[in-house]
Structure formats: structure tokens, C-alpha cells
Structure 1
Amino acid sequence: MSDRGVALVLHDVAPQTWPDYQPFVEAVDAIGSIPITWLVVPDFHHCNSLAGADALRKMLDARVAKGDELVLHGYFHSDDMPAPRTPKEWFMRRVYTWEGEFYQLSQAQALSRLQRGLEVFERYQWPVRGFVAPAWLMSEGTRQALRQLPLSYTSDTQHLYRLPGFTAIDAPGLVWSAGSAWRRGLSKVVCDLRERHWQNAPLIRLGLHPVDMRHRFSRDYWLETLKRLIDDGRRPITKSAWLDSLAAPASTSPA
């Protein structure tokens, strides 16, 4: 079995976004037995609660049964904190993203929201080992809150972090900005360069978003890249299964 892996990761999974993903997931399933890591949002943008999404929950139940992984991905996936006050805050919260839900939360706020999310997973009897903050943005309060919870890992764009110590493990990720034609074109150029640069990386993560699925150019890129990496000898694997396969952590991030 290959010692190099590829993790297919679907972000922002919610009742609103599942129709975007469904044709792509069907295409992935047609390739073969490829495990998927699903980043699930309990109440996407305050109007897409899992409580009223019986069909989606049943689908996720079936995916867990076949070996896929569900990860807690924020709670609302929206930034509801007071308006930015500094240029840096304005850039991070209004230019880089409007959805950095955990970017400014205090430890108490983050802990409360994380616990609510874990309660949702417990209600539906979904095993959960990982948390990924929307837009990968975490406040120091969020980091401290994560140390108090029974979670195994979190991640950013380049690393997985074992909890509670935030031990960093290299796991570079490809991701697109697919909201406009020029962004999609630039994303492909950048990701093609990064894929070549990371050809010997132990794990490459493919970080897909619903907007990617709304354009044939980006959707086809992800399917073709997944096939190419598998044909190149990479083993498709979930993030938690990859961590389980490692004998020891690689390095430690500052707390």
C-alpha cells in the first residue's frame, strides 16, 4: 500500500450546499471506493439547520457506515461579531472572508459554540474527531477552547494539528477561489504549480467548496486531479485515518 495519501475534503456541507456537491460525489463514487472527509456545518448561515434535513442526515449516516469521516466545521459558518475596527480586521473579515466565525471569539464564546456543535454530532450518533474553523481562522480563545475538548485534531491550509498540544504535521492543501472566471483561471495555475512542488509530500489535501461545483471548469479540475493523484500511486484516505497511520508526530507548533 502506498505511503503517500490524498484526502478529498468537502467544505461547508449543509442542506443548502448538498445539491451542489451531489453530482460530483456521484462521479467520485463511480471511480471506486474513495473515502471522503465531510466538513459539516450544524446551522449554515443561521438558516440551514441539520435538524430539518432528514435526507441529508440519512445520506451522511450512510457515508459514515461506508468509512467516510464527518468533521465539525464551525456552527453557523458566518462572522456575527461586531464590525471591524482596524485595517487588519477589515481585510481579514471583509476582503479575505465574511465567514471567519471563530476568528474573534473569546475562549468562553468558542467553547460554548464548539460544545453546541459536538452536541449536534452526538444527537445524530456521528463520530467526530476533528474540527476545522471556517476559512481556517481561529482566535487564541478558540485554540484554548479546543484544548479542553475530546477532539483529536484541527487544521489550517498547510498542516494538521494534533490536539490538545497543537503538534503540527505537514499536510499541504490545494484550494480554489472560484467566484469569478479570472479567479478560477488563476487558481488552476497556482494549484498546478503547487501540485508539482508537493509531488513528494506524504499527504495532499484537496479542499473543495460548494462554489467550485457550480462551474464545470473547476468541478472538472477537482475530479481530474483526484484521478491523477490516485493513478500516481497516492492512497485515498480520510484525515483522521491518515493521522492514525502515522507512527509519531512530526513537529510542534507554538501554543
Structure 2
Amino acid sequence: MAEVMLVLHDVSPESWEHYKPFVDAVDALGQVPMTLLVVPDFHHHNHLHNFPAFRRMMDTRLARGDELALHGFYHADDGPMPHTPRDYFMRRVYTWEGEFYQLSEVDALIRLEAGLEVFARNDWPVQGFVAPAWLMSEGTRRALQRLPLSYTSGPQQLYRLPDFSEVPAPGLVWSAGSAWRRGLSKVVSHWREQQAQDAPCIRLGLHPVDMRHDYSRQYWLDTLQRLLAQGREPLTKLAWLQRQVQARNAA
């Protein structure tokens, strides 16, 4: 059985209004569970404690069958200025939001535990962590091995914890900030989808900026519907990984 994973990044009180029309459209398709990557305090001004209506919405999504995963804590890179050309590129050109790109093990553990505490306070089960922009320092990797989490992920793979064993999981993702980026993203994503036709799963990684443009929002809805029509079963990340473990144990 081939599967598709629908993953919404940067989920916060601020971004949910952008996501809501798309989520409503997906809900209208039937039972399509999603993995929601939740940021506890997006950019230092969206702390979930201050948004009870958003927390209730996450409760509703869980009851519907969605998965909540921890997605950084602030989703902002507030560290010292980069000192090398490579670090400058990664932290100021590729992204400004690589929160866990340079953290020490101690600092990463503090933020991870703070995020898990927010989930625990809301009685939200959590098995997965995804670093903003998928950027993780070695200190972050060591910190993750000390926590009761099942997985983390990169752009084209998932990693089982605590040993970081790699599970290929090809993904489609857009850079939708400008018209030319949206056009190029569609071409690249179409090519990647064709390359992944025989893959056991395809991961769709959506961001709030995708939802601000009809062109990109409609692409994601059309792609999801096409993959479902091809017979792919929609699963959350956690459910898909659990199925891989069951298949391995049965072999």
C-alpha cells in the first residue's frame, strides 16, 4: 500500500487563519489525517498559553485523527551573528529561522523540554520533533537522543529516535514568497513527484506562505487529490512510521 503524508509547518495562532480555508477543503474530502507542526511561541509573540481558542482547535484536530508534532520553540534564529561564509549562507540567505542550527546540547535540551512541557500542559500527545528549516546542530541531535520522542525528520527522510536510523520519505515543498519562486517550485515539485511515483510514501510539506496565494494553495489541494485518486492512503508521520515498524517486525 502506498501512502501520502500531509504535513503543515509553522502551525501557530498567527498562521492558522491562513491555513483554515485549506484545512476546511481537505476536511471536505473525507478522512485525511494531517501532521501539524506546532510552534509553542512563534517569533516570541504567539505563546500558546495566550490563545485558548487555538488550543481548543488543536484539541479538535487531535480528536479528528491529526497528529501534533513539536516544531522548534520560537522558530526564530536569535543566536549571535554568523562568523563563517557557510554559516552566513545557512542562517541569513537560506533561512533566518534555523533556530536549532547552532545550539549546544544544553541549550537545545532546554528548548526541547520547554516545548514538550507546553504539549504536556495541554494534554497533547507528542512523538515527533521537526527542527525549523530541518536544520539541526550536533548538540540538538544529542539532546534528542535523551528525550522520549520517536522520530525527527529532514527534507527527504525521517529518522527514528534515539539511534537516528534513516527512513526514506521523499517530500515536496515550495518556496512561495514571490511569483517566480512559485513558478519554479511548481516545476521542481512536478519533477520530484514523477521521480517518487514508485516510492512507498510521498510527503507534502506545506507552509503558511503557500496559503497566501491562490496559485500555490490550489496546487497543494490538486496534488493531494491526485495522489488520493491514485490510491495512496493518507497517514500521519507517526502512523506511517508505526506501520514501517510493524512490517519490519512481521518480516
Letter in 1 for 2:196: W
> Paired residue for 1:252?
none
CA deviations over 1:41-97 (Å, ceiling 9, x no partner): 000000011001111110110111121100000000000100011100100000000
CA deviations over 1:124-167 (Å, ceiling 9, x no partner): 00000000000000000000000000000000001110000001
Give the deviation of 1:248 after TM superposition.
Answer: 2.7
Letter in 2 for 1:134: P
SS in 1 for 2:248: coil
| Matches for 1:74-153 after TM superposition, within 5 Å | 74-153=72-151
Q: Percent identity of the aligned residues? A: 66
What TM-score, normalized by structure 2, do the two folds share? 0.98
| Structure (1/2) with the larger helix percentage | 2
* Distance across 2 between alignment mates of 1:60 and 1:11: 14
* Distance across 2 between alignment mates of 1:192 and 1:17: 26
* Distance across 2 between alignment mates of 1:76 and 1:248: 36
Moved over 3 A (4+): none
* Distance across 1 between alignment mates of 2:8 and 2:115: 18
* Distance across 2 between alignment mates of 1:81 and 1:166: 26
Letter in 2 for 1:158: Q
Q: Which runs of 5+ in 2 are unaligned?
A: none
Give the deviation of 1:17 after TM superposition.
Answer: 0.4
SS in 2 for 1:8: strand
Q: Which runs of 5+ in 1 are unaligned?
A: 250-255
SS in 2 for 1:16: helix
* Of 240-249 and 66-75, the range deviating more from structure 2: 240-249
Give the deviation of 1:227 after TM superposition.
Answer: 0.2
What root-mean-square deviation, in Å, do the aligned CA atoms of Structure 1 and Structure 2 show?
A: 0.7
1:41 is matched with which residue: 39, 42, 48? Answer: 39
Letter in 2 for 1:40: V
Letter in 2 for 1:53: F
SS in 1 for 2:163: coil
* Distance across 1 between alignment mates of 2:64 and 2:17: 21
Letter in 2 for 1:39: L
Letter in 1 for 2:142: Q
* Distance across 2 between alignment mates of 1:76 and 1:37: 19
SS in 1 for 2:87: helix
* Distance across 2 between alignment mates of 1:140 and 1:131: 15
SS in 2 for 1:223: helix
Letter in 2 for 1:225: T
| Matches for 1:1-255 after TM superposition, within 5 Å | 3-246=1-244, 247-248=247-248
Letter in 1 for 2:151: Y
What TM-score, normalized by structure 1, do the two folds share? 0.96
* Distance across 2 between alignment mates of 1:244 and 1:85: 41
